[in-house]
Structures are given as C-alpha cells and as structure tokens.
Amino acid sequence: MTYQSPERLLSPTRLGPLSLSNHMVMAPLTRSRAGKDDVPTALMAEYYVQRASAGLIITEASQISPQGKGYPRTPGNFSAEQVEGWKLVTDAVHAGGGRIFLQLWHVGRLSHSSIQPGGGLPVAPSPIAAEGTIFTETGLKELETPREISIEEIPGIVADYRRAAEHARLAGFDGVEIHGANGYLIDQFLRDGSNQRTDAYGGPVENRARFLKEVVEAVIPAIGADRVGVRLSPVFDGFSMSDSNPTETFGYIAGMLSGYGLAYLHGAQLGSAPFDYAGFKHRFGGTYIANGGYDAARAEAALRDGTADLVAFGSSFLANPDLVERFRRGAALNQPDPKTFYQGEERGYTDYPTLDVA
C-alpha cells in the first residue's frame, strides 16, 4: 500500500501573528539539563534547534521563581543570567526557521524543602500532601505536606508570572504557555481535591479559577494576548490529583479563557477518566492544541474532523529531531530511551540520529 503523507498536518498555518511551517507542535518535556543556577546552556540550544522543523516548539517547563522549582537542573526564567541563557535557545531556533514559546511553571506542592529557598516547605493552595516521592539532589524523598499559601502572598506569585513573561519577551521568545496542568500549582488551585480553601480562592469553581484568571490577566500585558497559551489537563490523575466534577470545572475554565483572545488552549489528554475534549475545545472557541499519544494518522484525522487545530507530540519529538521529515516520508521512528530522559547530558538528548545519519 502506498504511504499517504499527512498533508494537513504538514501544511503551513498561522497562530495569531505567527506563521508556522506546519501543524505540528513539540510538546513541553522536562529534560533536566540546565547548568549552574538553572541557567539554560548551549547544549539546550542545540537540542531545540535540532527540532526547529516543528511548527511550534513549547519549551520544557521553566520555573518563574526559586519557590516555583521542583526538580534538579530545571531551567529558570527569573534571573538576568537565565534570560541570557534562553537567548542562546531562541536565537538558535529562529536561525533554524522555527517558532518557540516558553512554558511558565510553578510546581506548588510538588517540591521538597531541600530544594526550596531557605529550606522552607513547598507551598500550595491547601496543606494537603500528594502521595509518592520526588527526585532531589540527594535522591528520592517522600513528598511533604505543603504550607498553605496565605491570601496576602498570592499577588506576589502572580507578579512572578508577569515578570517571567516579561523575561521571555526579552529573551526573544515568540510567546509563553502558562502551565496549568499536570498537578502543578495552577492545577492545584483549579481542582477541589487539592484546593479546600474557604476564602476567595476556594469553594465554587469561580473561586478556584480565580488564581489562573489573575495569572492570565497579569501575563497578557507583558507579551500580548495573542502570544499567550494555557495548558490544562482536565482528568490528569497523577500526584493524587482529582476533581469531583471535571466537566463542570473545566467547562467553566474553557469558557472563562475564551474571552481573552489567547493564542491557544493546550489540552493534555492525560488520565484514564472519560472527558469530552471536543466540548472543551468548543467552549474555548479559539485555537486548540490536542496532546496525548498522537501518531501521524490520528493527528491528521483530528485536524480534518475539527477536533484539533494543532497537534502536540512529546516523546516522539524527543527521540526524533526530524520527526516532521519522518512523517513526510513515512519512515520508521527512533524509540525514546527513558533512562536518559532526565540525565545523560548529550546521551539521549542531542544524539538521536536523523534519517540522513541513519
């Protein structure tokens, strides 16, 4: 049978003010290769430029403050040195013809006192510990019960998001993605399993969505609404995350976000519970990035039936820097090596072979 190239997936498109070479997005992937003081490095620039054929790259999550850090060697975006490091990345990607957004991150309770400034406890909307362990500089440790964020602290954290967006603009990024998924701080506020506050940030969904709303409204003036995306994972169930009514919660949030003229909503289809992602996309009404185990054929079908406007690929982009060309030719894919996801420097990072090398 003759291979049918995914024409829609590989065709050019637009994202707000940006021209994209195709409908393929490189999903954010934590790789833990940052240098001293969590500064992005030339090796990271090489990694990203190898994948610049993606229509859009969304970087690995980048902590907005020292408090927002959860894992060793993840890059930050709060110091001048980190901004200069990210410039290496954006300059390389733009020289390679690509577009790149920075993902803004605060991990909330998914950190450890050994990582936090001054050895303090991680913070969260409520003092509820997630089950499990976390990797630290000295190995795996049990997750701790976080300290509840006081209502007086919240404006400062919102300001950290704004500053990180300003830094992203200075570093040359085409836009930013607000990480509201995967059990991290914003997600912890959104869901009633992790948010049991009784003030203006807890209780009904309108209150639980308030923190995200304030972050969005702080970030937009820093870089422009049409350069801001939001990532959400409505039924993600890792890190003890849950919600009593995800359809109501995330339907409300999608509708709330629809009024801002954002670049996109990024739906991470993680977790085993059923969820109406088509309805989620419809409530948002703007550009929607689908993410969750897509291959070329399934991505092409999603674009053609209107359930996605762009499609994000994670581990397949990790292991195949020339994923776009492989999809074009119908070539076999390299398989990712999980042992090198978070360690190995060049190994499992910049040494995956392209078709020409293979």
Cβ neighbors of 158 (< 8 A, separation 6 or more) are: 211, 214, 215, 218
Cβ neighbors of 159 (< 8 A, separation 6 or more) are: 218
Cβ neighbors of 273 (< 8 A, separation 6 or more) are: 235, 237, 246
Could you tell me the two tokens for 46? 């090489």
- Gap between the Cα atoms of 134 and 129, Å rounded: 12
Q: Helices 80-95 and 42-50, interaxial angle, to 10°?
A: 30
Closest-CA residue to 85 (of 105, 102, 71): 102
Residues marked as catalytic? 184
Amino acid at 147: R
- CB atoms inside a 10 Å sphere around CB 177: 27
Closest-CA residue to 246 (of 268, 229, 219): 268
Do 186 and 211 touch, CB atoms closer than 8 A? Answer: yes
- Gap between the Cα atoms of 176 and 59, Å rounded: 9
- Gap between the Cα atoms of 191 and 125, Å rounded: 10
Residue 73 φ/ψ region, left for φ over 0, alpha for ψ in the -120 to 50 degree band, beta for the rest? left
Strand partners, 26: 57, 313
